Chain A
Amino acid sequence: MNKEEIISQNFETQIPIKEKGVLLWQKTKDKVNNLPFKDKLPTSKNKKIALITGIILFFLIIILVIISSTYRTSQFKPLILPSPSPSPYEEEIKNPSNYATDSAVLGVEEKVKEINQELDQTDLKETGLNPPILDMEVNFEE
Protein backbone atom coordinates (compact mmCIF):
# COMPACT_ATOMS: atom_id res chain seq x y z
CA MET A 1 0.00 0.00 0.00
CA ASN A 2 1.40 3.32 -1.04
CA LYS A 3 1.35 6.48 1.05
CA GLU A 4 -1.65 8.14 -0.74
CA GLU A 5 -3.89 5.08 -0.28
CA ILE A 6 -3.20 5.01 3.45
CA ILE A 7 -4.17 8.68 3.80
CA SER A 8 -7.44 8.22 1.90
CA GLN A 9 -8.34 5.17 4.03
CA ASN A 10 -7.87 7.19 7.18
CA PHE A 11 -10.20 9.93 5.87
CA GLU A 12 -12.94 7.45 5.16
CA THR A 13 -13.08 6.01 8.71
CA GLN A 14 -13.19 9.48 10.42
CA ILE A 15 -16.69 10.87 11.15
CA PRO A 16 -17.24 14.69 11.19
CA ILE A 17 -17.65 16.25 14.66
CA LYS A 18 -21.15 17.60 13.94
CA GLU A 19 -22.42 14.15 12.95
CA LYS A 20 -20.64 12.64 15.93
CA GLY A 21 -22.63 14.87 18.30
CA VAL A 22 -25.92 14.00 16.60
CA LEU A 23 -25.11 10.33 16.80
CA LEU A 24 -24.26 10.59 20.50
CA TRP A 25 -27.52 12.38 21.26
CA GLN A 26 -29.46 9.72 19.30
CA LYS A 27 -27.69 6.94 21.17
CA THR A 28 -28.44 8.40 24.62
CA LYS A 29 -32.03 9.08 23.60
CA ASP A 30 -32.43 5.48 22.58
CA LYS A 31 -30.82 4.31 25.79
CA VAL A 32 -33.14 6.45 27.87
CA ASN A 33 -36.16 5.23 25.97
CA ASN A 34 -35.13 1.65 26.58
CA LEU A 35 -34.52 2.16 30.29
CA PRO A 36 -36.56 -0.15 32.59
CA PHE A 37 -37.51 2.69 35.02
CA LYS A 38 -38.44 5.11 32.29
CA ASP A 39 -41.82 5.86 33.97
CA LYS A 40 -40.11 7.12 37.10
CA LEU A 41 -38.24 9.89 35.33
CA PRO A 42 -39.53 13.47 35.89
CA THR A 43 -42.59 14.37 33.94
CA SER A 44 -43.81 17.95 33.37
CA LYS A 45 -46.01 17.72 36.55
CA ASN A 46 -43.11 16.45 38.62
CA LYS A 47 -40.95 19.20 37.23
CA LYS A 48 -43.42 21.81 38.44
CA ILE A 49 -43.43 20.35 41.96
CA ALA A 50 -39.64 20.26 41.97
CA LEU A 51 -39.54 23.86 40.80
CA ILE A 52 -41.94 25.04 43.55
CA THR A 53 -40.00 23.08 46.20
CA GLY A 54 -36.80 24.61 44.91
CA ILE A 55 -38.24 28.15 45.12
CA ILE A 56 -39.53 27.51 48.65
CA LEU A 57 -36.15 26.15 49.71
CA PHE A 58 -34.42 29.14 48.14
CA PHE A 59 -36.62 31.60 50.05
CA LEU A 60 -36.20 29.61 53.27
CA ILE A 61 -32.43 29.86 52.91
CA ILE A 62 -32.68 33.60 52.30
CA ILE A 63 -34.90 34.04 55.40
CA LEU A 64 -32.47 31.97 57.49
CA VAL A 65 -29.55 34.07 56.25
CA ILE A 66 -31.41 37.28 57.12
CA ILE A 67 -32.35 35.99 60.58
CA SER A 68 -28.82 34.85 61.34
CA SER A 69 -27.35 38.15 60.14
CA THR A 70 -29.78 40.23 62.25
CA TYR A 71 -29.09 38.03 65.28
CA ARG A 72 -25.40 38.61 64.81
CA THR A 73 -25.86 42.37 64.56
CA SER A 74 -28.01 42.43 67.71
CA GLN A 75 -25.31 40.50 69.54
CA PHE A 76 -22.80 43.05 68.45
CA LYS A 77 -22.64 45.73 71.06
CA PRO A 78 -21.12 48.94 69.84
CA LEU A 79 -18.61 50.54 72.09
CA ILE A 80 -20.40 53.21 74.10
CA LEU A 81 -18.15 56.05 74.89
CA PRO A 82 -19.00 58.20 77.88
CA SER A 83 -20.63 61.44 76.82
CA PRO A 84 -18.55 64.48 77.56
CA SER A 85 -19.64 66.37 80.64
CA PRO A 86 -18.47 69.76 81.76
CA SER A 87 -15.43 69.43 83.95
CA PRO A 88 -15.67 70.95 87.38
CA TYR A 89 -12.56 72.93 86.56
CA GLU A 90 -12.32 76.22 88.30
CA GLU A 91 -9.81 78.81 87.41
CA GLU A 92 -7.09 78.94 89.99
CA ILE A 93 -6.52 82.19 91.83
CA LYS A 94 -3.04 83.35 90.81
CA ASN A 95 -2.58 86.12 93.38
CA PRO A 96 -4.47 85.09 96.54
CA SER A 97 -5.36 87.71 99.12
CA ASN A 98 -4.99 87.43 102.89
CA TYR A 99 -8.57 86.11 102.97
CA ALA A 100 -7.98 83.21 100.56
CA THR A 101 -7.62 80.83 103.50
CA ASP A 102 -10.03 82.59 105.85
CA SER A 103 -12.30 79.98 107.49
CA ALA A 104 -15.47 82.10 107.14
CA VAL A 105 -14.81 82.75 103.45
CA LEU A 106 -14.02 79.07 102.80
CA GLY A 107 -17.16 78.10 104.71
CA VAL A 108 -19.29 80.37 102.52
CA GLU A 109 -17.60 78.99 99.41
CA GLU A 110 -18.51 75.45 100.44
CA LYS A 111 -22.07 76.40 101.33
CA VAL A 112 -22.55 78.25 98.02
CA LYS A 113 -21.57 75.04 96.19
CA GLU A 114 -24.09 73.06 98.25
CA ILE A 115 -26.86 75.59 97.55
CA ASN A 116 -26.03 75.45 93.86
CA GLN A 117 -26.51 71.69 93.88
CA GLU A 118 -29.78 72.05 95.77
CA LEU A 119 -30.97 74.67 93.28
CA ASP A 120 -30.29 72.29 90.40
CA GLN A 121 -32.07 69.38 92.08
CA THR A 122 -35.19 71.21 93.28
CA ASP A 123 -38.38 69.85 91.72
CA LEU A 124 -40.77 72.71 91.07
CA LYS A 125 -43.29 70.60 89.16
CA GLU A 126 -44.26 67.96 91.74
CA THR A 127 -46.01 66.04 88.97
CA GLY A 128 -46.53 63.06 91.27
CA LEU A 129 -48.79 65.20 93.43
CA ASN A 130 -51.07 66.37 90.63
CA PRO A 131 -54.68 66.08 91.86
CA PRO A 132 -56.49 62.87 90.88
CA ILE A 133 -58.77 62.95 87.84
CA LEU A 134 -62.23 62.03 89.12
CA ASP A 135 -65.58 61.60 87.44
CA MET A 136 -68.01 63.85 89.30
CA GLU A 137 -70.98 63.53 86.98
CA VAL A 138 -72.94 60.57 88.24
CA ASN A 139 -76.39 60.27 86.70
CA PHE A 140 -78.65 57.66 85.19
CA GLU A 141 -80.18 59.69 82.40
CA GLU A 142 -79.36 59.12 78.76
Chain B
Amino acid sequence: MKKSLIIIFLFSFLFLIPSSALKAQDNQEFNFDRAYQDYLFTYNQYRQAHNEYITAREQYLNYETLTAKTLALEQTLRMLQERDNTIRTYLTALRMKMAETTGILTYKQNTLYLQLDAEVAWYVNHHDSLSSAASLEDLTKLSKETEERYGKTQVLIYQGLGIILEGKENNLKNQINDQIQILKEKITEIREKGDKDTTIAERWLLEAENKLIRAQEKIDEANALLNSLKTFDQDKQEDYNQTQSLFQEAHLYLKEANGFLKELVREIKTADLNE
Protein backbone atom coordinates (compact mmCIF):
# COMPACT_ATOMS: atom_id res chain seq x y z
CA MET B 1 0.00 0.00 0.00
CA LYS B 2 2.77 2.37 1.06
CA LYS B 3 4.79 1.53 -2.02
CA SER B 4 1.91 2.22 -4.39
CA LEU B 5 1.27 5.55 -2.65
CA ILE B 6 4.92 6.55 -3.10
CA ILE B 7 4.81 5.58 -6.79
CA ILE B 8 1.62 7.61 -7.34
CA PHE B 9 3.17 10.57 -5.56
CA LEU B 10 6.35 10.38 -7.64
CA PHE B 11 4.41 10.10 -10.90
CA SER B 12 2.16 13.04 -10.10
CA PHE B 13 5.25 15.03 -9.14
CA LEU B 14 6.92 14.20 -12.45
CA PHE B 15 3.87 15.22 -14.48
CA LEU B 16 2.92 18.29 -12.45
CA ILE B 17 6.28 20.03 -12.56
CA PRO B 18 6.57 20.33 -16.35
CA SER B 19 2.95 21.42 -16.72
CA SER B 20 3.34 24.14 -14.09
CA ALA B 21 6.60 25.26 -15.72
CA LEU B 22 4.86 25.49 -19.08
CA LYS B 23 2.01 27.47 -17.56
CA ALA B 24 4.51 29.89 -16.03
CA GLN B 25 6.16 30.28 -19.42
CA ASP B 26 2.82 30.98 -21.05
CA ASN B 27 1.95 33.56 -18.45
CA GLN B 28 5.28 35.32 -18.98
CA GLU B 29 4.56 38.80 -20.22
CA PHE B 30 5.24 39.43 -23.87
CA ASN B 31 7.24 42.63 -23.79
CA PHE B 32 9.98 44.28 -25.85
CA ASP B 33 12.76 42.20 -24.26
CA ARG B 34 11.04 38.95 -25.16
CA ALA B 35 10.17 40.15 -28.66
CA TYR B 36 13.77 41.27 -29.14
CA GLN B 37 15.12 37.89 -28.00
CA ASP B 38 12.75 36.21 -30.47
CA TYR B 39 14.09 38.43 -33.23
CA LEU B 40 17.75 37.76 -32.37
CA PHE B 41 17.09 34.01 -32.34
CA THR B 42 15.31 34.11 -35.70
CA TYR B 43 17.97 36.34 -37.24
CA ASN B 44 20.59 33.82 -36.18
CA GLN B 45 18.55 31.01 -37.74
CA TYR B 46 18.35 33.03 -40.97
CA ARG B 47 22.11 33.54 -41.09
CA GLN B 48 22.70 29.82 -40.69
CA ALA B 49 20.10 29.01 -43.37
CA HIS B 50 21.63 31.62 -45.67
CA ASN B 51 25.09 30.06 -45.38
CA GLU B 52 23.64 26.66 -46.21
CA TYR B 53 21.73 28.14 -49.15
CA ILE B 54 24.95 29.67 -50.54
CA THR B 55 26.72 26.29 -50.37
CA ALA B 56 23.79 24.44 -51.95
CA ARG B 57 23.51 27.06 -54.71
CA GLU B 58 27.23 26.76 -55.52
CA GLN B 59 26.97 22.98 -55.67
CA TYR B 60 23.95 23.14 -57.95
CA LEU B 61 25.58 25.66 -60.30
CA ASN B 62 28.77 23.60 -60.44
CA TYR B 63 27.39 20.09 -60.85
CA GLU B 64 23.77 20.59 -61.97
CA THR B 65 22.82 17.13 -60.72
CA LEU B 66 19.35 16.20 -59.56
CA THR B 67 20.60 15.69 -56.00
CA ALA B 68 22.22 19.13 -56.01
CA LYS B 69 18.99 20.64 -57.36
CA THR B 70 16.87 18.97 -54.67
CA LEU B 71 19.26 20.20 -51.99
CA ALA B 72 19.26 23.71 -53.47
CA LEU B 73 15.44 23.69 -53.46
CA GLU B 74 15.33 22.62 -49.80
CA GLN B 75 17.95 25.12 -48.62
CA THR B 76 16.46 28.02 -50.60
CA LEU B 77 13.02 27.31 -49.20
CA ARG B 78 14.39 27.23 -45.65
CA MET B 79 16.37 30.43 -46.17
CA LEU B 80 13.36 32.29 -47.61
CA GLN B 81 11.15 31.12 -44.75
CA GLU B 82 13.72 32.27 -42.18
CA ARG B 83 14.06 35.59 -44.02
CA ASP B 84 10.32 36.20 -43.74
CA ASN B 85 10.42 35.16 -40.10
CA THR B 86 13.30 37.56 -39.39
CA ILE B 87 11.41 40.52 -40.88
CA ARG B 88 8.24 39.54 -39.01
CA THR B 89 9.97 39.21 -35.62
CA TYR B 90 11.93 42.43 -36.20
CA LEU B 91 8.72 44.35 -36.93
CA THR B 92 7.14 42.87 -33.79
CA ALA B 93 10.14 43.95 -31.69
CA LEU B 94 9.92 47.43 -33.19
CA ARG B 95 6.21 47.60 -32.38
CA MET B 96 6.88 46.54 -28.77
CA LYS B 97 9.63 49.15 -28.46
CA MET B 98 7.19 51.80 -29.67
CA ALA B 99 4.61 50.60 -27.15
CA GLU B 100 7.11 50.93 -24.30
CA THR B 101 8.45 54.36 -25.29
CA THR B 102 6.72 57.29 -23.61
CA GLY B 103 6.24 60.58 -25.41
CA ILE B 104 5.11 59.20 -28.77
CA LEU B 105 2.10 61.07 -30.11
CA THR B 106 -0.93 58.76 -29.95
CA TYR B 107 -2.18 59.41 -33.48
CA LYS B 108 1.25 58.70 -34.92
CA GLN B 109 1.60 55.55 -32.85
CA ASN B 110 -1.80 54.22 -33.90
CA THR B 111 -1.20 54.93 -37.58
CA LEU B 112 2.12 53.14 -37.51
CA TYR B 113 0.68 50.22 -35.51
CA LEU B 114 -1.89 49.64 -38.26
CA GLN B 115 0.77 49.77 -40.95
CA LEU B 116 3.10 47.45 -39.03
CA ASP B 117 0.31 44.95 -38.38
CA ALA B 118 -0.57 44.89 -42.09
CA GLU B 119 3.10 44.37 -42.89
CA VAL B 120 3.44 41.49 -40.41
CA ALA B 121 0.33 39.88 -41.87
CA TRP B 122 1.83 40.10 -45.39
CA TYR B 123 5.03 38.32 -44.28
CA VAL B 124 3.03 35.61 -42.47
CA ASN B 125 1.00 34.93 -45.64
CA HIS B 126 4.09 35.01 -47.79
CA HIS B 127 5.85 32.58 -45.44
CA ASP B 128 2.94 30.16 -45.82
CA SER B 129 2.86 30.48 -49.61
CA LEU B 130 6.56 29.52 -49.82
CA SER B 131 5.88 25.91 -48.90
CA SER B 132 3.73 25.47 -52.03
CA ALA B 133 6.67 26.26 -54.31
CA ALA B 134 7.63 23.24 -56.43
CA SER B 135 10.68 24.49 -58.27
CA LEU B 136 13.62 26.83 -57.97
CA GLU B 137 11.88 29.16 -60.44
CA ASP B 138 8.84 29.34 -58.13
CA LEU B 139 11.11 30.20 -55.18
CA THR B 140 12.96 32.86 -57.19
CA LYS B 141 9.61 34.42 -58.11
CA LEU B 142 8.42 34.35 -54.47
CA SER B 143 11.73 35.84 -53.34
CA LYS B 144 11.25 38.68 -55.82
CA GLU B 145 7.92 39.46 -54.12
CA THR B 146 9.67 39.92 -50.78
CA GLU B 147 12.37 42.02 -52.42
CA GLU B 148 9.73 44.37 -53.83
CA ARG B 149 7.80 44.49 -50.58
CA TYR B 150 10.88 45.11 -48.44
CA GLY B 151 11.31 48.65 -49.86
CA LYS B 152 7.96 49.59 -48.29
CA THR B 153 8.84 47.71 -45.09
CA GLN B 154 12.11 49.64 -44.81
CA VAL B 155 10.23 52.96 -44.95
CA LEU B 156 8.05 51.76 -42.07
CA ILE B 157 11.10 50.55 -40.15
CA TYR B 158 12.91 53.91 -40.40
CA GLN B 159 9.73 55.82 -39.60
CA GLY B 160 9.19 53.58 -36.58
CA LEU B 161 12.75 54.10 -35.38
CA GLY B 162 12.32 57.84 -35.93
CA ILE B 163 9.08 57.90 -33.93
CA ILE B 164 10.87 56.16 -31.04
CA LEU B 165 13.59 58.84 -31.01
CA GLU B 166 10.98 61.57 -31.34
CA GLY B 167 9.07 60.08 -28.41
CA LYS B 168 12.18 60.17 -26.24
CA GLU B 169 12.83 63.81 -27.15
CA ASN B 170 9.17 64.77 -26.68
CA ASN B 171 9.16 63.18 -23.25
CA LEU B 172 12.21 65.17 -22.14
CA LYS B 173 10.91 68.36 -23.75
CA ASN B 174 7.55 68.00 -21.96
CA GLN B 175 9.27 67.48 -18.62
CA ILE B 176 11.38 70.62 -19.11
CA ASN B 177 8.32 72.55 -20.25
CA ASP B 178 6.42 71.51 -17.10
CA GLN B 179 9.23 72.94 -14.95
CA ILE B 180 9.23 76.13 -17.01
CA GLN B 181 5.51 76.56 -16.33
CA ILE B 182 5.97 76.04 -12.57
CA LEU B 183 8.82 78.57 -12.50
CA LYS B 184 6.84 81.02 -14.62
CA GLU B 185 4.07 81.02 -12.02
CA LYS B 186 6.59 81.37 -9.21
CA ILE B 187 8.30 84.32 -10.89
CA THR B 188 4.92 86.05 -11.41
CA GLU B 189 4.19 85.47 -7.71
CA ILE B 190 7.56 86.97 -6.69
CA ARG B 191 7.12 89.96 -9.00
CA GLU B 192 3.61 90.66 -7.64
CA LYS B 193 4.82 90.44 -4.05
CA GLY B 194 7.81 92.62 -4.89
CA ASP B 195 10.06 90.40 -2.74
CA LYS B 196 12.82 90.23 -5.29
CA ASP B 197 13.99 91.64 -8.60
CA THR B 198 12.91 89.10 -11.22
CA THR B 199 14.64 90.63 -14.28
CA ILE B 200 17.49 88.10 -14.39
CA ALA B 201 15.17 85.16 -13.63
CA GLU B 202 12.83 86.20 -16.43
CA ARG B 203 15.78 86.42 -18.82
CA TRP B 204 16.86 82.86 -17.92
CA LEU B 205 13.29 81.71 -18.43
CA LEU B 206 13.14 83.29 -21.86
CA GLU B 207 16.44 81.68 -22.81
CA ALA B 208 15.17 78.27 -21.69
CA GLU B 209 11.97 78.71 -23.69
CA ASN B 210 13.98 79.71 -26.76
CA LYS B 211 16.07 76.56 -26.48
CA LEU B 212 12.90 74.46 -26.35
CA ILE B 213 11.66 76.18 -29.52
CA ARG B 214 14.98 75.43 -31.25
CA ALA B 215 14.75 71.80 -30.12
CA GLN B 216 11.23 71.55 -31.53
CA GLU B 217 12.44 72.98 -34.84
CA LYS B 218 15.06 70.23 -35.09
CA ILE B 219 12.47 67.56 -34.22
CA ASP B 220 10.15 68.93 -36.94
CA GLU B 221 13.02 68.91 -39.43
CA ALA B 222 13.75 65.27 -38.60
CA ASN B 223 10.08 64.34 -38.93
CA ALA B 224 9.82 66.04 -42.32
CA LEU B 225 12.80 64.03 -43.53
CA LEU B 226 11.28 60.77 -42.25
CA ASN B 227 7.95 61.53 -43.90
CA SER B 228 9.67 62.19 -47.21
CA LEU B 229 11.05 58.62 -47.37
CA LYS B 230 9.83 56.72 -50.41
CA THR B 231 9.63 52.98 -51.13
CA PHE B 232 12.08 53.05 -54.02
CA ASP B 233 14.61 55.43 -52.42
CA GLN B 234 18.07 53.92 -52.52
CA ASP B 235 19.51 55.98 -49.66
CA LYS B 236 16.93 55.36 -46.95
CA GLN B 237 19.65 54.44 -44.45
CA GLU B 238 21.50 57.69 -45.17
CA ASP B 239 18.33 59.75 -44.68
CA TYR B 240 17.67 57.99 -41.41
CA ASN B 241 21.23 58.74 -40.24
CA GLN B 242 20.54 62.40 -41.01
CA THR B 243 17.37 62.34 -38.90
CA GLN B 244 19.38 60.78 -36.07
CA SER B 245 21.79 63.73 -36.24
CA LEU B 246 18.86 66.16 -36.14
CA PHE B 247 17.47 64.46 -33.04
CA GLN B 248 20.91 64.70 -31.48
CA GLU B 249 20.96 68.44 -32.18
CA ALA B 250 17.51 68.74 -30.57
CA HIS B 251 18.89 66.85 -27.59
CA LEU B 252 21.69 69.38 -27.17
CA TYR B 253 19.16 72.23 -27.13
CA LEU B 254 17.19 70.39 -24.45
CA LYS B 255 20.33 70.04 -22.39
CA GLU B 256 20.98 73.75 -22.68
CA ALA B 257 17.37 74.54 -21.72
CA ASN B 258 17.68 72.36 -18.64
CA GLY B 259 20.97 74.04 -17.76
CA PHE B 260 19.23 77.43 -17.89
CA LEU B 261 16.54 76.14 -15.54
CA LYS B 262 19.24 75.18 -13.08
CA GLU B 263 20.61 78.72 -13.21
CA LEU B 264 17.10 80.10 -12.87
CA VAL B 265 16.46 78.14 -9.68
CA ARG B 266 19.76 79.39 -8.31
CA GLU B 267 18.81 82.96 -9.15
CA ILE B 268 15.44 82.64 -7.35
CA LYS B 269 17.14 81.09 -4.31
CA THR B 270 19.68 83.94 -4.08
CA ALA B 271 18.71 87.22 -2.41
CA ASP B 272 19.23 90.54 -4.23
CA LEU B 273 22.52 92.29 -3.50
CA ASN B 274 20.85 95.36 -1.95
CA GLU B 275 18.75 93.25 0.45
Which of chain A's residues has its CB closest to B195's CB? A98
Are B46 and A134 within 8 A (Cβ)? yes
Binds A, one of B13-21, B113-121, B157-165: B157-165
Inter-chain contact B172/A119, CB cutoff 8 Å: yes
Closest to B175 in A: A115
Q: Are B176 and A115 in touch, CB under 8 angstroms? A: yes
Inter-chain contact B36/A112, CB cutoff 8 Å: no
Q: Is B226 an interface residue (CB 8 A)?
A: no
Using Cβ atoms and an 8 Å threshold, which residues of chain B touch A136?
A: 143, 146-147, 150
State whether the Cβ of A122 lies closer than 8 Å to any Cβ in chain B: yes
Measured between beta carbons, the chain B residues less than 8 angstroms from A119 are 172, 251, 254-255, 258
Interface of A is mostly: loop
Size class of the contact patch on chain A: 35 or more
8 Å CB interface, B163-185 against A? 164-165, 168, 172, 175-176, 178-179, 182-183, 185
Q: Is A1 among interface residues, defined by CB-CB distance under 8 A? A: no
Question: From residue 54 to 109 of chain A, which have CB atoms closer than 8 A to chain B?
Answer: 93, 95-100, 102, 104-105, 107-109
Is A135 an interface residue, CB under 8 A from the partner?
Answer: yes
Name which of A10-18, A23-31, A39-47, A124-132 contacts chain B.
A124-132
Please count how many residues in chain B sit with their CB below 8 Å of the partner chain's CB atoms. Answer: 63
With beta carbons under 8 angstroms apart, the residue of A93, A116, A131, A135 that contacts B154 is A131
A-B contact pairs, 18 of them (CB 8 A): A93-B269, A95-B273, A97-B269, A97-B270, A105-B265, A112-B179, A112-B258, A112-B265, A115-B176, A115-B179, A124-B247, A132-B90, A134-B46, A134-B150, A135-B50, A138-B139, A138-B140, A140-B140
Task: Please report B residues at the A interface, Cβ cutoff 8 Å.
Answer: 36, 43, 46, 50, 57, 60-61, 72, 76, 79-80, 83, 86-87, 90, 93-94, 97, 136, 139-140, 143-144, 146-147, 150, 154, 157-158, 161, 164-165, 168, 172, 175-176, 178-179, 182-183, 185-186, 190, 195-196, 244, 247-248, 251, 254-255, 258, 261-262, 265-266, 268-273, 275
